[in-house]
Structure 1
Amino acid sequence: MSSAVVIPAAGLGLRLGGETPKAFREVGGDSLLVHAVRGLRAASAADLVCFVVAVPPGSEETVGKELAPYVGAARLLVVAGGAERPASVRAALDVVPVDGIDCILVHDAARAFVPAEVIERVVATVRAGADAVVPVVPVTDTIKVIGPGGAVVDTPDRSTLVAVQTPQGFAPEVLRRAHAAGADAAVTDDAMMCERLGVVVQTVEGSQDAFKVTRPQDLLLAEALLARRSKEQLSARSDKQPGELDGRPGESRGEGQVG
């Protein structure tokens, strides 16, 4: 069996500023969306055979051409997204193949630097029988609950709190059932939609590298992360003997299938 990924990338990302939609902001010469697709492609154990990306209406062809070199032999489908995230996910979900897919990932382009091992953990946990899986990291700040007037009404025990990341993984029929039930303005992710159906959501270890690019300072953090990874790759290559260096599969131009 294989997996598919849905990437909602139609949002404007107003908190990041600028006129370019967030998913298309560049870091290190490539858009966040390209970084996200490349990172998913690196998770070889996830067996991703289909990428479905929801983008601002009218940009489907342009984005398809941009992403095609990075999906390898996987199928690439680019669709028009909606005004809100749930609508974009639904539009993408409608074209995900039904046959041969045992896990559907939903991944935010703004979390463009998720390590491959996190992606593979999510998929493996779905394949082990979980209906819904989210990667998480511990909350390190003290969290306060406030009332309507701004006064603190409670301080939760942070040892029971986690911050949720993406990609989130789902049994295909569970995710489709959750979206068929609809979403209101209070829904912030697909796992929450599943929770409302009584589905148990399992957690796996996430990564600090999977931070969400939301504000301008996050772009600086992303640049620093790329610089660190580039340095690590150069160091690893210098440790190899002559003849051991090999190319990264799936990155030659023209391999993707745009549908």
Structure 2
Amino acid sequence: MAKKVAIITAGGSGTRMGATTPKQFLLLNNKPLLWYTLKAFFEAFDDISITLVLPSDYISQGKMLVADMGKESSVTLIAGGQTRFHSVKNGIDLLDKESIVFVHDGVRCLVTPNLIRACYEQAKRLGSAIPAVSATDSIRIADVHSGHSAIDRNLVKIVQTPQTFKSELLIRAFNMPYQESFTDEATVVEYSGEKTFLIDGDYDNLKITRPVDLLVAESILQKRNQY
């Protein structure tokens, strides 16, 4: 079996949450969001190695969280970079052998072990697995010249994480200079000339961005705990 590495990006400040604490450390049912994220990856694979990217001022808090989980030997903590690209590159630079690499938003705390395992299996076969769900709202494209126009929402995919790749694809792609158009790992890999492949995502795999998202996440956790 291929080696498994997860680069969990949690280097942001989360200003849209309106809190002084970075959102990855906000509590959900009395546990930090990051706790749920890490737990999902360890439940998916007990032999996974995780690189956790945090703001430099919160490395010590991250170490305490990892210690409380008893996972010090499986988690490496590093400081984030200027952009998501640079934060992920900091993690990629630590790769020492061929592996399957998951790049995941730390505040997508409702990711399931099943989705993680599905991404792993597809990446082994095809080289990549990009979770995505179909848009459910009506979609319009804004144009500075013509105003806006409707498009077929069935053609629109909402991309999630963990974006999963064979390590050689990521290493080669992230050796390129940074560009503002690099909004996620898939765009970087595609710019390097490689094709990427989508996989069915999960509508519950939401990214905690606004205060209301915490309420939604709490409701989802309650429903899961009923079964």
- Shorter-chain TM-score range: over 0.9
Task: Tell me which residue corresponds to 2:108.
Answer: 111
Task: Tell me which residue corresponds to 1:145.
Answer: 141
* Paired residue secondary structure (1:63): helix
CA distance in structure 1 between the partners assigned to 2:17 and 2:57 by the alignment = 22
Task: Tell me which residue corresponds to 1:218.
Answer: 213
Task: Tell me which residue corresponds to 2:27.
Answer: 26
Based on CA coordinates, which of the two structures has the bigger radius of gyration?
Answer: 1
Structure 2 residue runs of 5 or longer lacking an equivalent are: none
Report if the CA contact (8 A) 2:131-2:200 is conserved.
yes
CA distance in structure 1 between the partners assigned to 2:49 and 2:70 by the alignment = 9
Task: Tell me which residue corresponds to 2:198.
Answer: 203
**What's the offset of the Cα at 1:202?**
0.6
- Aligned-pair identity in percent equals 28
Report if the CA contact (8 A) 1:68-1:76 is conserved.
no
Report if the CA contact (8 A) 2:42-2:48 is conserved.
no
Task: Tell me which residue corresponds to 1:64.
Answer: 63
Amino acid at match of 1:182: P
Correspondence 1:168 to 2:163: yes
Task: Tell me which residue corresponds to 1:155.
Answer: 150
Task: Tell me which residue corresponds to 1:247.
Answer: none
CA distance in structure 1 between the partners assigned to 2:170 and 2:127 by the alignment = 9
CA distance in structure 1 between the partners assigned to 2:23 and 2:171 by the alignment = 26
Task: Tell me which residue corresponds to 2:8.
Answer: 7
Amino acid at match of 2:62: V
Report if the CA contact (8 A) 2:130-2:160 is conserved.
yes
Task: Tell me which residue corresponds to 1:75.
Answer: 74
CA distance in structure 1 between the partners assigned to 2:23 and 2:189 by the alignment = 26
Report if the CA contact (8 A) 1:51-1:71 is conserved.
no
Report if the CA contact (8 A) 2:100-2:164 is conserved.
yes
* Paired residue secondary structure (1:218): helix
What is the CA RMSD across the aligned residues, in angstroms? Answer: 1.8
Q: Indicate how the Cα distance of structure 1 residues 70 and 209 shifts in structure 2: closer, same or farther if over 3 A, else same.
A: farther
Correspondence 1:180 to 2:175: yes
TM-score (norm 1): 0.82
Correspondence 1:194 to 2:194: no
Task: Tell me which residue corresponds to 2:38.
Answer: 37
Aligned length: 226
Report if the CA contact (8 A) 1:115-1:209 is conserved.
no
